[in-house]
Copies of this chain bind each other. A is one copy, B any other.
Amino acid sequence: MRIDIWSDVVCPWCSIGKKRLDRALADFEHADDVEVVYHSYQLDPAAPSEPTERARDMLARKYRMSEAQAAQAQDRVTALAAEEGMYWRHDETWHVSTVDAHRLLHLALAEAGPQVQSQLKEALWQAHFGEARNVADPVVLTELAVGVGLDADRVAVVLGSDEFADAVEADIRRAAALGATGVPFFVVDEKYGISGAQPVELFAQALERAWSERSPLQMVTPGAAGDADGADGACGPDGCAI
């Protein structure tokens, strides 16, 4: 079974939502048969690559809140993160571009698989929310990517080019095609969609439902009339049917 997750590195609900999904998976009998794949989503494609503004100040400016209101909004989410065992320096986080982080998440998926990609995503969330590091900084990104086992030379090549930029854009278009208007957006087995950091019970329910509805592959075979035109031609370890 497969779970596709659209999320952003600077999206607090995405990190909290993933922890809730993890709790549902911890109690799910078939968790070993579940593959999680992350897809890119950029909350603010126009965010700068230099850390010029704290996320809190951007919030206040963009939504015309007072500094106290922006702080209150962030603190409420920080408290929910703490319920999931994460201790955030939310007030110090930077408002920065995540496109390079997403390109490295594609590199991780392509060359090391979904488990390493998940590790990199968690490392990015921890760097941004837990340590208020600049996740647009190539030095920080390289440290995190190499830390989960990616090849330093490949990371340098990707960061020095626009490799995987198309894949980031394609992910964002696919999210829109699926009807996602925000993140996190979870798709279980290409069948059930879950929008937002829903309660653990809702994730558990979707996992059980999707699992129970799994069907084995149905083979399509020629009718009894057969076919003279090379039907059933196949090759196997014992040669080709000729």
Contact = CB atoms under 8 A, between A and B. Distances in A.
Interface of A: 8, 11-14, 16-17, 43-44, 59, 62-63, 73-74, 76-77, 80, 110-111, 113, 163-164, 166, 178-179, 181-185, 187-188, 190-199, 202, 205-206, 209, 215, 217-222, 227, 229-237, 239-242
Report the copy number of this chain in the oligomer: 2
Given A77-B242, A197-B230, A199-B222, A8 B235 contact: yes
A8 B237 CA distance: 11
B43 A236 contact: yes
Given A187-B217, A220-B206, A17 B233 contact: yes
22 contacts: A13-B240, A43-B236, A59-B239, A179-B217, A181-B236, A183-B234, A183-B235, A188-B220, A190-B190, A192-B217, A192-B219, A193-B220, A194-B220, A195-B219, A196-B232, A196-B241, A197-B232, A197-B233, A198-B222, A198-B232, A202-B231, A205-B220
Contacts of A11: 235, 240
Given A191-B217, A220-B192, A236 B182 contact: yes
A56 to B, nearest CB: 12
Nearest to A153: B157
Nearest to A189: B190
Nearest to A203: B220
Contacts of A80: 229-230, 233
Nearest to A196: B234
A85 to B, nearest CB: 15
Nearest to A220: B206
Residue among A17, A164, A190, A206 with the highest chain B CB neighbour number at 10 A? A190
A144 to B, nearest CB: 20
Contacts of A230: 13, 16, 80, 197, 199
Contacts of A196: 231-234, 241
A141 B200 CA distance: 49
A194 B182 contact: no
Complex A-B, nearest 7 residue pairs according to Cβ-Cβ distance, in ascending order: A182-B236, A110-B110, A196-B234, A197-B233, A13-B233, A182-B234, A193-B217
